[in-house]
Chains A and B, each alone.
Chain A
Amino acid sequence: MRVIAETSDDVDRWFVDLYDQHRGPVFSAALRLCARWADAEDLTAETFVRAYRAAGDYAPERRAQVRPRAWLMTILWNLWRNRARTAARRPPPAPLTEGIDVADPGQDVAGTAERNETGERLAALLEQLSDAQREAVVLRYVADLSVSEVAAILGVPEGTAKSHVSRGLKKLRELTQGGVR
């Protein structure tokens, strides 16, 4: 937050910091919501463009006060919801495969392989949760938001968000124990 306060006089520098700090979690949350690499790229790009446009209208003091992660996830969430509504009558997307194979060149090969192996399995299990549970788990643990932030984004009481998260985790635990692990 301090970094942003220092640079908020220049919206472009502010944006670069915002992007560098949050691109991973925003993209990852998008990937778990859309389950398609190309859609996640679209959604992430659109989220940051919207964030930039919104921030351009804010005074520097207001930009400095934004809680960036929750704010970005709110934008992402609204875009995702609007798309999901539009796409509701289209067939469901094919399960994610190609994206997981794209190795991050910054990682060592063994580490990446191991991570992708667990990641792929877990990501597939995530898709078996109900929408509400998956969305709550992704926002809470992939986007790393607090329960109250998750509740605010989902537009539900905190208790409800909490129960979506814990039921989602319980289901995931059952699924991981059910033969996969």
Chain B
Amino acid sequence: MSDGPLLEQLAKLVTDAPDDLIDRIAARWVTVDGPIGELFVAYTDHGIAYVRPAADDVREEFRRRFGRPLLRAARPPAGLASALRTGRTSGIEFDLRELTDFQAEVLRATQAIPRGEVRPYSWIARRVNRPRAVRAVGTALATNPVPLLIPCHRVVRSDGSVGEYIFGTELKRHLLHAEDTNLDEAHSLARRGIFYVASDTTGIVCYPTCRHARRIAPSHRKGFRTVVQAETAGYRPCRHCQPAPAAAT
């Protein structure tokens, strides 16, 4: 008997792949206006994967780093423009699959720093349960694939200086000023050995850039070098900015 009809039927088992399957393979890219000029943004079905200043070699760099094809998107993903404008990214998803667990944790901890405030590298290290890995936190932030949206510019040195930034120290300072962070005040306090600010009316001690610290009237402000000193003086750490209980050991 001939196999003809059977072969025809077998050939009919070829169905097309689902239309949205390409989104699990390729990333999409757009360029958008951002706080530091035109940005290249790539995203996948998992979320935003890569943000860099728009430059000729940025697509090549994406390929090298992510190993996915890049297709031009018709329009930016929902919420991107407003997230870049306002610095609020609560509705934005990120694709952090290419990162190490440690780097992804560092970035998720960094997301918690609100606009207008900064935290030291050691704060992030503590949040990811690696309090001694301060330097590793710096390295993880230095290769942040989604800067601006995950605000690594809000992580600064404990001595009050702004520290390194993926796009340079000057841009970091510029971004923080644009977010109305009281950077200069924090820096001048740090030069006087004051790293925490407390209120003698609430009995709470904060980082100097904490929104609660900034509301303290000058007559009620107390400065401290360490959280332990503040606690000894009867203050408790702020629940919003969670200043480090300096080495309890």
- A63 CB–B CB distance under 8 Å: no
Majority secondary structure of chain B interface residues (helix, strand, loop or mixed): loop
CB of B248 within 8 A of chain A?
A: no
* B: number of interface residues (CB 8 Å): 25
- The reply to whether B11 and A141 form a contact with Cβ atoms under 8 Å apart is yes
User: Quick check: A172 and B6 within 8 Å, CB to CB?
Assistant: yes
A145 interface contact, C-beta 8 A: no
Q: How distant is A134 from chain B, measured CB to nearest CB, in Å?
A: 11
Given contacts A15-B69, A169-B3, contact A26 B17 (CB under 8 A): yes
A89 at the interface (CB under 8 A from B): no
A52 and B67 within 8 A (CB): yes
Binary interface profile of A, 19-61, with partner B (CB < 8 Å = 1, else 0)?
1000111111001100000000100110011001100100000
Contact segment of A74-82, A117-125, A150-158: A117-125
CA distance A173 to B68 in the complex (A): 43
B36 on the A face (CB < 8 A)? no
- In the bound assembly, the distance between CA atoms of A41 and B63 in angstroms comes to 23
Residues from chain B with Cβ under 8 Å of A172 in the complex: 6
CB distance from A28 to the nearest CB of B (A): 4
Whether B14 contacts A16 by the Cβ 8 Å rule is no
Interface residues of B in 112-150 (CB under 8 A from A): none
Nearest neighbor of B2 in chain A, beta-carbon distance: A173
Interface flag for B37 (CB, 8 Å): no
CB atoms of A137 and B21 under 8 A apart: no
Q: How large is the interface on A (under 10, 10 to 19, 20 to 34, 35 or more residues)?
A: 35 or more
Residues of A within 8 A of B12 (CB): 115, 118-119
Q: A residues touching B (Cβ–Cβ < 8 Å)?
A: 11-12, 15-16, 19, 23-28, 31-32, 41, 44-45, 48-49, 52-53, 56, 102, 104, 106, 115, 118-119, 122-123, 126, 137, 141-142, 144, 169, 172-173, 176
Extra inter-chain contacts (17) besides given A23-B22, A24-B15, CB under 8 Å: A16-B69, A25-B14, A27-B17, A31-B15, A32-B13, A41-B17, A44-B17, A45-B24, A48-B25, A49-B25, A53-B67, A119-B9, A119-B12, A122-B13, A123-B13, A169-B6, A172-B6
